[in-house]
Structure 1
Amino acid sequence: MARKPKPPRIGRRATLFQRLRSDFLTGLVIVAPVTLTIWVIWTAITFIDARVVPLVPAAYNPATYLGKNIAGFGVVIFLLFTALVGALTKGLFGRQLVRWGESLFDRTPIVRTIYNAVKQLIETVLNQSSASFQKACLLEYPRRGIWAVGFVSTDTQGEVPVKIGRQDMVSVFLPTTPNPTSGFLLFVPRADVIFLDMTIEDAAKLIISAGLVTPPTKEEIAAGRRPAPARKNQTKP
């Protein structure tokens, strides 16, 4: 009499390879950001040192007396020089000198385009009061029934609401995943926007992780616990 085949075991323990793979991915989430951060900082320090230190007179260079270069010395000189330039431009003579230099750049065709673009970019990044977003929000995009996370930058002003014929509009930046630095600028009626309680940082994490990192709700924060991780769909045998 033939034996009946045994039914497959449900909930089998993970194999050694699966456990190693899980441990590797868990460690990679911790090691990769730290390693990349250190690499970026060290690369920036090396880049600045290589270009600033040769400009320092030998009498003021510690390498002359120690026999070796000090990492970060060029960064310190660069920071002090930048602060000195900023202090000088606050005076009347410094402002006049800056205006003269900008007028000289404005008269040069190619230099004018590059200088204005770089200046506008730096001013936008450093000016936190005008560049920071107000709230994270939900809006239906690219069609009704599909929701996307965006950032409300400000109330829409100028010609746009006048041409549209309504004043209750907000300017929303809709970032892309996983690179939130690129995206779309949308002018949306305020009634079509749902404001979220999560912070801008939590919303950015949600976008960058493609929904894998979900911030807790207000109720979960008040209870002092994180939301339960999402379960993977399992097919029935």
Structure 2
Amino acid sequence: MRKYFLTGLLILVPLAITLWVLNIIVGTLDQSLLVLPEHWRPKLTLLGFNVPGLGAVLTIVIVFCVGLLANNLIGNYILRLWEKLLHRIPVVSSLYGSVKQVSDTLFSSSGNAFRKAVLIPYPHANSYTIAFLTGTPGGDVKNHLVGDYVSVYVPTTPNPTSGFFLMMARSQVVELDMTVDAALKYIVSMGVVAPD
């Protein structure tokens, strides 16, 4: 009985967690309908019932349309004007600039951030963890480092969205023959799901 119960748990728990996360995401994206005027909201007034996921579809369409507009000459010009306006507002300029720089680095197809999984000695010389190569130290920091250094991000387990940023000697960093996705699964599963 114990074997069958554990097998059932192994099948149902990932399914339940996946459905729960999807429900949270779709519910959050459905809130995007609140930006529309009351009489435009395609809910009870137009359809007679609430359609779950309609806000998620609307959000995806808006994001796609903004990307489509930004990739042509007129849209690009409007985008530059918008960014100039945001950079003139005192608090908004520093916040927007920082977030834009991080998102450009993470989502750029030509960037090197999080493109390589590495093995590093952490938190001391006799233990190791998986980290992600994020680049090389820059600015005044590189003037104070003697030798060849790289920047790495060490995610925490089981929540990889928090972690530590370290600058380490390149000689201490071992590049792994492992995809970033496989490394993330390994980290999130606390080493239970080992990569092939």
Mapped to 1, the partners of 2:144 and 2:21 lie a distance apart of: 46
Q: CA shift at 1:117, angstroms?
A: 4.1
TM-score under structure 2 length normalisation: 0.74
Q: CA shift at 1:140, angstroms?
A: 2.1
Does residue 131 of structure 2 align to residue 150 of structure 1? yes
What is the DSSP-based 3-state SS (H/G/I as helix, E as strand, rest coil) of the residue aligned with 1:130? coil
Task: Look at both structures and tell me which one has the larger radius of gyration over its CA atoms.
Answer: 1
Does residue 192 of structure 2 align to residue 212 of structure 1? yes
Does residue 67 of structure 2 align to residue 103 of structure 1? no
Query: Are 1:134 and 1:154, in contact at CA under 8 Å, matched by a contact in 2?
Result: no
Does residue 186 of structure 2 align to residue 186 of structure 1? no
TM-score under structure 1 length normalisation: 0.64
Mapped to 1, the partners of 2:67 and 2:181 lie a distance apart of: 31
Aligned residue runs from structure 1 range 8-87, under 5 A: 19=2, 24-52=5-33, 55=36, 61=42, 66-87=47-68
Mapped to 1, the partners of 2:189 and 2:89 lie a distance apart of: 44
Q: CA shift at 1:173, angstroms?
A: 1.9
- Structure 1 stretch displaced more, 123-132 or 196-205: 123-132
RMSD, aligned CA: 3.4
Report the AA paired with residue 136 of structure 1. Answer: A
Structure-2 change in CA distance of 1:37 and 1:127 (3 Å): farther
Q: Deviations over 1:58-103 (max 9, x none)?
A: 6894865642233333333333333333333334443333333333
Query: Are 1:53 and 1:73, in contact at CA under 8 Å, matched by a contact in 2?
Result: no
Question: How many residue pairs get matched?
Answer: 196
Q: Deviations over 1:159-185 (max 9, x none)?
A: 544432323x33222222222222222
Q: State the identity %.
A: 37
Q: CA shift at 1:122, angstroms?
A: 3.7
Q: Which has the higher contact order (CA 8 A, sep 6+)?
A: 2
Query: Are 2:117 and 2:179, in contact at CA under 8 Å, matched by a contact in 1?
Result: yes
Query: Are 2:117 and 2:130, in contact at CA under 8 Å, matched by a contact in 1?
Result: yes
Which blocks of at least 5 consecutive residues in structure 2 are unaligned? none
Q: CA shift at 1:152, angstroms?
A: 2.5
Report the AA paired with residue 125 of structure 2. Answer: R
Q: Deviations over 1:21-68 (max 9, x none)?
A: x65555444323322222232333233334427727868948656422
Structure-2 change in CA distance of 1:156 and 1:59 (3 Å): closer
Mapped to 1, the partners of 2:160 and 2:31 lie a distance apart of: 32
Structure-2 change in CA distance of 1:37 and 1:189 (3 Å): same
Which blocks of at least 5 consecutive residues in structure 1 are unaligned? 1-15, 217-237
Structure-2 change in CA distance of 1:43 and 1:180 (3 Å): closer
